[in-house]
Structure 1
């Protein structure tokens, strides 16, 4: 009877223990042994007779239930709920607040000072002024005109002749001549408008040599003479200041330009030695020659003005996009006094051009007093050509009339394909001038 009671008690005890194990966290078990030991471990599994525990060092161990006095379970600790309210920055100390306010005040003062300074610069840069420039000096014009036509026609005439006859033209070396300019500039706040005109003259030497003569023979031929070259230029520019400042000014600029270039040679002479031994074909004559060109178009670029001490430096760079036409007229009037023979022929050409180039202008201005000042300047321009159309007309004493259709075909072949592209040269013009200027300020 007593043994039965003990079995009932053991069953009730282990039932209570299993119920407790299922209701708490497994890590919260404390095992009290009958020999007085206290073991804190995790109960991994158990049967009716033994308990398997996991010690803190990770090892496992079996304990007989007969050696266990009781098993206690610790209360599971409920974690404190996290406060989801955002935590703001710590409240700064009063000294830090004052220091921060002082720094912000200094920064704002610097910004205000810069703003006021820029406003003052813009105000001081405002203009309402009219300026007039007059200049004179020397210039050199290296005009491709006359020499280009001489070279193309020399090759063309050499191809069309027989018995070894030919012409060859030497490239002329220009010499400096006179230059002059006139310009009006009006400045109003950020806007600047300019109109002006300039001219430059130069001189060059025409030299052509070759072989010529009747059908039965040849002899040396020379054409020699000096001619003047003139270039005239009118323009208008408009520019806008992108960053107005009393000391310097940068302005994009657009403009319109027109150029007239011309050569006239009325003192060129021709001489042929004649055929030996009598030299009856020896002849003398004149070769009046003229070449002209008209180009016009637009430009774009930048202008930059800088004040240094009591001087002002003005520079401008303009990209030129031009188109126009050129003409050339050469006539030969020669007479052989021994044979009473004469020569008379002429060549006329017309070409359409497309030209691209640049113009650089640098000027140093010194304002004196009463609105009067003085200036020194350098102007340089150049452009290259492309032929867009051409025609040629030939007149000869032995032919009653020229053949327009044949001349047109020959002109196109010579100038557009055969010789012209390789004979094209640059046109350059450079002037150095000094002058006076008058300035009237409407704001004073």
Structure 2
């Protein structure tokens, strides 16, 4: 009998019956016939097996009982994107960038009023070419806190474009004006909404709010040329500045349509009920081509009006994680004005107030009221639009 020590720690007492270069056939002391691969054998001894310490026996027993380990597949953690709309307690913050376009009612209004007033005297009208608006960078932002069915917060935007202005008239010779300038609009809104309906795929929220708008058009290089039969007669270089402020209540609806766990369509429609004012001025220097005399002229207008319109918003939202989302969308504003009061004046460093007969101030007041009445018949409107890409972050608060 020989003692065979295997590499796995097992010890076998057996007789060697047959062997080849790679295998060995043995008969154990219990009478079993086993074929072993020589690669499994550590040594073969003619001596009795050495008694192993208990710890070694334990290791040997474990080695004999051990089989190839079975690797259990670790399940991936389940990410829960579902939000219980009736148990929400979170703050959602968003910020977006994109392209904006702003088309306000500014220098076009006084020209239209003058054209209508001039019809009575047979004065040829001033023609304004269709302006162009080249979009520039826009910004949108907001923070909305939601607790169960109630939501409230602040949203805002900043947008603008570069616009052109070209006009010409033939009252006495030809007058041609042109300019290229930036126009900007900022808005800020406080809002409150209530979750009136919700299910797995759809939410509906009526909203109320109060919104502010600030608009500015400023041209620091407005030029005007006066031509007569012999050619250029007068030239004017000036600065135009229009500032508008509007504010008022909004009422509307917000809807969310969920497409699976990650995609959302968000739509908003708000009616705007606004009121405010616009102050405009053009300060220019006027000189004949021979520079014989230079005059400075300031034209000003002050308007008070109401505005009715709407705000439309759409965003396609993708939830990257349960609390972080990205979105793409657009916003569109439009409102039409209703004139309340209108005042216009022109002052020359050479002639003083133009069109004012100090000996007959009543006639001047009548003229102002006439222009105000005519202004109320002019259809005036403003539009602005934003294309945006943004990111949202939702901060969840755990109720104690």
Structure 2 SS opposite 1:145:
coil
Alignment CA distance shift 1:406-1:363 (3 Å): farther
| Alpha-carbon distance between aligned partners in 2 of 1:288 and 1:347, rounded to the nearest angstrom | 10
Contact 1:274–1:283 (8 Å) recurs in 2: no
Contact 1:122–1:246 (8 Å) recurs in 2: no
Deviation at residue 123 of structure 1 after TM alignment = 5.9
Structure 2 SS opposite 1:303:
strand
Corresponding residue to 1:392 among 335, 344, 360: 344
Alignment CA distance shift 1:299-1:225 (3 Å): same
Deviation at residue 390 of structure 1 after TM alignment = 1.8
What residue in structure 2 maps to residue 284 of structure 1?
235
Structure 1 SS opposite 2:170:
strand
Alignment CA distance shift 1:428-1:166 (3 Å): closer
What residue in structure 2 maps to residue 327 of structure 1?
279
Counterpart mapping for 1:42-441 below 5 A: 125-153=86-114, 156=117, 158=118, 167-211=126-170, 218-276=172-230, 282-309=233-260, 310-338=262-290, 340-369=292-321, 371-401=323-353, 403=356, 407-414=364-371, 416-418=372-374, 420-441=375-396
Cα displacement string for residues 304-342 of structure 1 (whole angstroms, at most 9, x for unaligned residues): 112212112211111111111112212331212426133
Contact 2:85–2:148 (8 Å) recurs in 1: no
Deviation at residue 155 of structure 1 after TM alignment = 5.0
Contact 1:144–1:424 (8 Å) recurs in 2: no
Alignment CA distance shift 1:408-1:179 (3 Å): farther
| Alpha-carbon distance between aligned partners in 2 of 1:221 and 1:363, rounded to the nearest angstrom | 47
Cα displacement string for residues 157-216 of structure 1 (whole angstroms, at most 9, x for unaligned residues): x56989x6763333423232221111101111000112011011022211121236xxxx
Alignment CA distance shift 1:406-1:230 (3 Å): farther
Structure 2 SS opposite 1:387:
strand
Q: Tell me the TM-score normalized by structure 1.
A: 0.65
- Structure 1 gaps, min length 5: 1-120, 213-217
Contact 2:214–2:246 (8 Å) recurs in 1: yes
| Alpha-carbon distance between aligned partners in 2 of 1:181 and 1:123, rounded to the nearest angstrom | 27
| Alpha-carbon distance between aligned partners in 2 of 1:442 and 1:269, rounded to the nearest angstrom | 58
Contact 1:165–1:210 (8 Å) recurs in 2: yes
What do you get for the CA RMSD once the two structures are aligned? 2.6
Cα displacement string for residues 16-64 of structure 1 (whole angstroms, at most 9, x for unaligned residues): xxxxxxxxxxxxxxxxxxxxxxxxxxxxxxxxxxxxxxxxxxxxxxxxx
Q: Tell me the TM-score normalized by structure 2.
A: 0.71
| Alpha-carbon distance between aligned partners in 2 of 1:138 and 1:122, rounded to the nearest angstrom | 32
Structure 1 SS opposite 2:131:
coil
Alignment CA distance shift 1:123-1:378 (3 Å): closer
Alignment CA distance shift 1:434-1:124 (3 Å): closer
Deviation at residue 153 of structure 1 after TM alignment = 3.9
| Alpha-carbon distance between aligned partners in 1 of 2:290 and 2:121, rounded to the nearest angstrom | 25
Structure 2 SS opposite 1:266:
strand
Aligned residue pairs, count: 312
| Alpha-carbon distance between aligned partners in 2 of 1:406 and 1:227, rounded to the nearest angstrom | 36
Cα displacement string for residues 338-391 of structure 1 (whole angstroms, at most 9, x for unaligned residues): 261334322211111111111111112212137322111210110101011122
Contact 1:275–1:282 (8 Å) recurs in 2: no
- Structure 2 gaps, min length 5: 1-81
* 234-243 vs 398-407, which moves further: 398-407
Deviation at residue 275 of structure 1 after TM alignment = 4.6
Structure 1 SS opposite 2:337:
strand
